[in-house]
A and B are shown apart, each in its own frame.
Chain A
Amino acid sequence: MTSPGFIDRFKTGLWHENPGLVQLLGLCPLLAVTSSFVNGLGLGIATLAVLIASNGLVSATRRWIQAEIRIPIYVLIIASLVTCIELIFKAWFPALDRSLGIFIPLIVTNCAIVARAEVFASRNPIGSSMADGFVMGSGFALLLMAIGAFRELLGQGSLFARMDMLLGGDPMRGLVITDGGWLLAILPPGAFFSLALAIAIKNSIDRRQREKRQQAMPGRGRHASQ
Chain B
Amino acid sequence: MSERTGEREVGRSRPRKEDARLVTGQTTWTDNIGVTGLLHLAILRSPMAHARIERVDVTPALERPGVVAAFTGRDFAELASLPCAWPVTEDIVLPGHPAVAVDEVRYAGDPVAVVVARDRYTAADALEAVEVDYEPLPPVLDLEAALANDASLVHADKGTNRCFVWPLATGERYETVRERADVVLRRRYHQQRLIPNAMEPRSVVVTPLATSGEYTVYSATQIPHVLRVMLAMVTGVPEHKLRVVAPDVGGGFGSKLQVYGEEVIALDLARRLGRPVKWTESRSEGYLATHHGRGQIQDIEVAATREGRLLGLKVDLLADMGAYLMLVTPGIPILGAFMYPAIYKMDAYDFTCTGVFTTRTPTDAYRGAGRPEATYAIERIMDELAVEVGLDPVELRRRNWIGHEEFPYTSISGLTYDSGNYEAATDKALALFGYDELRAEQAKRNESGDSVRLGIGVSTYTEMCGLAPSRVLRDLRYAAGGWEAASIRMLPTGKVEVVTGTSPHGQGHETCWSQIAADVLGVPFEDVEVVHGDTRSAPQGMDTYGSRSLVVGGAAVHHAAEKVVDKARKVAAHLLEADERDLEFTDGVFSVKGSPEERRTIQEVAFETFSSHDLPDGMEPTINAEHLLDPENFSYPHGTHLCAVEIDTETGRTSIRSYVCVDDVGKVINPVIVEGQVHGGLAQGIAQALYEEAVYDDEGNLVSGTMADYLVPGAPDLPEFTTDRTETPATSNPLGVKGVGEAGTIASTPAVVNAIVDALRPLGVHDVRMPCSPGRVWEALRSAQSDRSGWEGAERS
Chain B binds chain A: no
**B residues at A contact (CB < 8 Å):** none
**A residues at B contact (CB < 8 Å):** none
